[in-house]
Homo-oligomer: A and B are copies of this chain.
Amino acid sequence: MDIALAARRRHSCKAFDGERKIPPELFGQLRELLRWSPSSTNSQPWHFVIAATPGGKARVAEAATGLFAYNAPKILDASHVVVLCARRDMEPEYLDALLAQEQADGRFDSEEARTRQAQVRGFYVGHQRKAGTLDAWMQKQVYLALGGLLLGAGALDIDACPMEGFDAALLDETLGLAAQGFAAQVIVALGYRSAGDFNAAAPKSRLPEAALFTDI
């Protein structure tokens, strides 16, 4: 497998073919990718809303309003739309639930291992909270999942359009995310490009190697 080829081939899709759907088996792989995405101290500070129905996509598209109206057609015409959300807090109850899940999944072969995991995660969370960066830290983990999703889509020849341009507060209300303790971060429309996708033909651009890498 040449995974770099998938990365290089991938383009942000600007217009989707509204008739063409992602086969369930392939979308299932992307769902798995999201589920198994890594996160700092396995904190999984996220939630994913998946809109695969016309009604669901219309609800998401409501947030592509005002200055962001240009994003609405991508959401409506895509095969599947994922709203990647971050947690708004990391309460002790949530940390307990993570630990219980890890125990149930067989991560700990001793009481010490369980205690150590609780301490390490507690240390990182406490450090971020004290520094006032807990929100940003949780959001970064969501972007980590986003990076996997976009590369995974590329590897499966699925076109993706990641969007930061939407009314997040409105979407948090529309989808009831705020009430559940989540905050929408980024929307990814997924499907197959239409003939109207100007970006498919445009070459990708990146800064030169020398600007990107230092070898030591």
Contacts and interface: CB of A to CB of B under 8 A. Distances in A.
A35 B35 CA distance: 26
Interface string A159-200: 000101100000000010000000000000000000000000
Number of this chain's copies in the assembly equals 2
Given A35-B209, A148-B147, A107 B202 contact: yes
Nearest to A59: B216
Identify the interface centre among A107, A144, A208: most chain B CB within 10 Å of its CB: A144
A206 B97 CA distance: 11
9 contacts: A3-B155, A4-B33, A7-B32, A7-B33, A50-B213, A56-B215, A97-B207, A101-B206, A107-B205
Contacts of A204: 36, 105
A146 B3 CA distance: 15
A125 B141 CA distance: 21
B46 A212 contact: yes
The 4 A-B pairs at the shortest CB distance, nearest first, are namely A147-B147, A56-B216, A4-B32, A105-B205
Contacts of A76: none
A13 to B, nearest CB: 11
Given A48-B212, A48-B213, 17 more contacts: A1-B156, A2-B29, A4-B33, A7-B32, A35-B213, A38-B162, A40-B164, A47-B211, A52-B215, A98-B207, A101-B208, A106-B205, A109-B202, A124-B165, A136-B139, A144-B147, A148-B151
Given A7-B152, A124-B164, A202 B106 contact: yes
A101 B208 CA distance: 8
Interface in A2-56: 2-4, 7-8, 10, 12, 28-38, 40, 42, 44, 46-53, 55-56
A209 B28 CA distance: 12
A145 interface: yes
